[in-house]
Every structure is written in C-alpha cells, then in structure tokens.
Amino acid sequence: MPVTIDGSNGITTPMYNGSITANAVTPSVNMKNRIINGQMVIDQRNAGASISTASSTNTYTLDRWIAVFTQNSKFTLQQNAGSVTPPVGFANYIGITTTSAYTGSGDIFNIGQNIEGFNTSDLGFGTANAKTITISFWVRSSLTGTFGGALQNSALNRSYPFTFTISVADTWEYKTIIVAGDTSGTWIGATNGIGLRLWINLGSGSTYSGTAGAWASADYRSATGSVSVINTLNATFYITGVQLEVGSTATSFDYRPYGTELALCQRYYYLHASGNGAPIGMACQYGASSMYGTLQFPVTMRIAPTISSTSGTDIYIFYRTGAADSFNSLSLQGSSTTGYTFLNNSQISGTSGDAGWVEGANASAFVAFGAEL
C-alpha cells in the first residue's frame, strides 16, 4: 500500500473504501501546551475531595494548580465540584465556591500555575525576540462580566494583566487571550526555577491590579475593575482546558495520554503510598534497633524533594525474616532527584542484616514527596 507525505496533510494512506482516497494522520506536537494538567485530570493530593484554603501557605489543589489566598477559608476547591457536566471534550474541571464574602484592597485571591524555566526558555521573554503566546481555556461562573488574570515573571516585578468576559451565567464559554511577549525585565531561562507564572483572578484587590493589555514593572495579579468572585457568597467559578502556547492563534487542546500527564505532574509532586498495606520500600535491619530502606521515584523530580508522611501509633510496619515491627514515623536519611532513603531507629528490634520491606499498617499511612516551584 503506497504511503505519501506532504506538508499540508502529514502522512496519508489509501483507504479501502473507494469513495475515500486518503486518510490524513496529523503528527502530534510534543508539549505544545506549556500548562501541565490543563484538563484537570490528575489530583494526587486529594483524589477528588473538597479542600478549603488557608492564608498561611500556598495551597496546591489539583496537581500543578496552586491557590494563593491571603485570607483563611474563603473558598472551597474540588475536582468536578457540584457535578456540573464539563464542556464537550473534557471529563474534569476544577470547581471553586466562595464560602464567605469578602473585600480587601491589599489581598490576593488567585489560582494559577508556575511553569518551569526549562519549559519556557524558548519564548525569549526579556529579549528583543520575545514570542507572542496565546492562552485559551473553558470557563463557567455563576457571575457575569469582565474577569481578570495575569502573567508574571519569577521575581513578580514584570506583569501583564489581561481580561476575559463571561456573558452568560452558569454556562461554559471558551476564551482566548493573545499576549505579545515581554521584551524587558529579567526572565529565568533554561533552569528548574519559575520561568513564567499564569494567574486567574478570583478577587485580588486594587493594590495588585493594573491596566489590562500591557506589560508593567509591578506585581499585578489581575486587571483593574475585573469581577471579584470573593465579593459574593456562594459564587462559583469553574475552569478547564487551560492551554498556553506559542503563536497568535488558539489551536485545539493538546491532549496527552493520562500516563504522560501523570508523569509530568510527578516531577513536582509524587504520591508514593497511601493506606493500609500500601508498599513503601525494601529495607534491612541495620543494627539492633534501626531499620533503613530505600525507594526510587518513577520520574526524575525537579529538585531533591521534601517528604510528607503520617506520624501516629503503629502507622507503618517492617516485615523481615520471621518477624515484624510496627512503628510510628519515617525519618529522612538522604534524598536526591531520583530516590529516597528512610529510617526508623527507635522502634525496631531484631537481628542486624535481616532483609525485608515496609508497608502501611493502617488507613492513615501516607508517604508523598514534594518538589514544587
């Protein structure tokens, strides 16, 4: 069967149906979308459960999506909140609901994503060759009007506020924003730092709002005069299909295989074990009262991560030759971007040299690793 390649249709092959002479196969574009988890399919931390945000720390919600709020408990966030049907072509979204109406000129209420410098260096921001980019997404809200957001550099001293309009309440609408690349300021290049920040505004005050459609040397998280979701009790704001790509035209969403999207997320956060019986790693009896174990990450993480693990009575168990010891916590021995060594040297008793494994001993067992931007 003959195969032809041309610049318009990609690879074409004849069909067996005589009425159709060719079948276009369009080659995929690798990482066209610089947003990771833009279709909101990965939720390692919460597994679809609703969470409330605190002001003391930035709160990661669905994977790679961060909530930056300066007041406590003003919103709940959840994958597929309210069981609203997503827009055609999508199965998931992040749903945000206000739980307390609030107004503050010096406050920030944003969700967004920090994009790694390795994934944005080709944009050339901060040079005369800065590229135009296009942001696109699907959005739905109980409110209508002109909403806002912003792009920013790592240092938060270069900002591009933008707007988009929601015309009909409680209806999915598709939005596109074209942004000419910034030729000024300092932008991180091909490193593992923050190359570009994307914010969607939920109510940042006037202190953090600026004129839409222009780059400014300021910390702006939104456009002046945009709708403040936080002002209205029980207001909803849903978003999915977020894409940031090179060029002045929004193209079709860059769907990636689930496994690929999960691996991209695991560079920044990796849920290793959760629940009773969850395997944690191989281990050995190092001394009379100490156990050491190792585990390998499925992908190389951005930096050597920090561990998040549960502590409590008999959370974990070390099985070895003819015996088992329950213990309450894991401690760090060493970590790198590819693996982790853990230990417990206070609740283990046995024979040095015995080999075994560690697993969760009850539903509270939890081990995860974070290397977020």
Q: Where are the domains of the chain?
A: 1-30, 51-264, 267-370
Q: Tell me the CB-side half-sphere exposure of residue 171, using CA atoms within 13 A.
A: 8
Classify burial at 37, counting beta carbons within 10 Å of its beta carbon; exposed 0-12, middle 13-18, buried 19 or more: buried
- pLDDT at position 350 is 85
- pLDDT at position 8 is 44
Alpha helices in the chain (DSSP H): 258-266
- E strand map for 247-278: 269-274
CA 296 to chain centre: 22
- pLDDT at position 37 is 98
**Quick one: fold of 267-370?**
Immunoglobulin-like (2.60.40)
Distance separating alpha carbons of residues 316 and 218, to the nearest angstrom: 49
Share of the chain above pLDDT 90, in %: 85
CA 160 to chain centre: 21
Q: Which strands, in side-by-side order, build the sheet including 306-309?
A: 269-274, 366-370, 306-309
- pLDDT at position 111 is 97
For the record, the structure tokens of 311 come out as 């502590």
Q: For residue 165, what are the β-bridge partners?
A: 146
Distance separating alpha carbons of residues 200 and 298, to the nearest angstrom: 31
Q: What is the pTM of this model?
A: 0.91
- pLDDT at position 27 is 39
- pLDDT at position 56 is 61
Distance separating alpha carbons of residues 242 and 213, to the nearest angstrom: 19
- pLDDT at position 17 is 34
Distance separating alpha carbons of residues 124 and 122, to the nearest angstrom: 5
- pLDDT at position 322 is 85
Distance separating alpha carbons of residues 319 and 327, to the nearest angstrom: 11
Closest by CA to 355, choosing from 259, 281, 303, 255, is: 281
Pick the CATH number of 51-264 from 3.30.70.980, 2.60.40.10, 3.40.50.720, 2.60.120.260: 2.60.120.260
Q: What is the CA radius of gyration of the chain?
A: 24
- Which residues, 6 or more positions from 259, have their beta carbon under 8 angstroms from its beta carbon? none
Residue ranges for the chain with pLDDT beneath 70: 1-29, 55-57
Asked if 351 and 285 count as a contact pair (C-beta separation under 8 A), the reply is yes
